[in-house]
């Protein structure tokens, strides 16, 4: 089960990295000053950093098979999940506003478009679902369910 969690975590991370890259490429960092982006950079980068540290801890756990490392990785995933839900809650209105913005588009409309509006819905959904799967697999592994 630890390898399944590792695979789920890596695929989740790839999706998250794609979303982060899209946000940066579409001007999310610059939009922090204007308030256009609804995703605060500290939340986004905190989510990314904690998830990356947790993944490294999980890789060390898979190699060393120390239960404390599994629980540490799970503990790191909890704030990652919380930050992810915060971002999802802030992204949903931006996504819903996509249709209204398309109808009202005019000159200069692109400059006021939040970077996160460019997130593909399929990637957001897959990232979230795989994150839940990862969290559950890590918890089950830490609990010793299914052996390691």
Indicate the domain borders of the chain.
2-143
Rounded Cα gap, residues 85 and 9, in angstroms: 17
Instruction: Give the model's pLDDT for residue 112.
Output: 74
Instruction: Give the model's pLDDT for residue 90.
Output: 94
- The structure's pTM equals 0.87
Per residue in 36-76, pLDDT tens? 899 999 999 999 999 999 999 999 999 999 999 999 999 99
Per residue in 81-110, pLDDT tens? 999 999 999 999 988 876 555 555 555 555
Rounded Cα gap, residues 102 and 120, in angstroms: 16
Per residue in 111-136, pLDDT tens? 578 999 999 999 999 999 999 999 99
């Amino acid at each position: 089960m630890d390898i399944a969690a590792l695979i789920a975590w890596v695929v989740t991370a790839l999706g998250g990295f794609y979303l982060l890259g899209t946000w940066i490429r579409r001007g999310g960092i610059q939009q922090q000053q204007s308030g256009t982006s609804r995703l605060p950079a500290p939340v986004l980068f905190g989510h990314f950093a904690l998830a990356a540290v947790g993944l490294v801890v999980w890789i060390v756990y898979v190699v060393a098979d120390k239960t404390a490392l599994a629980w540490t990785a799970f503990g790191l995933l909890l704030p990652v999940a919380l930050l992810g839900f915060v971002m999802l809650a802030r992204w949903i209105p931006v996504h819903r506003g996509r249709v209204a913005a398309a109808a009202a588009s005019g000159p200069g409309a692109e400059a006021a478009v939040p970077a996160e509006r460019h997130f593909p819905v399929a990637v957001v959904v897959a990232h979230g679902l795989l994150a839940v799967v990862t969290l559950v697999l890590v918890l089950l592994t830490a609990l010793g369910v299914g052996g390691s």
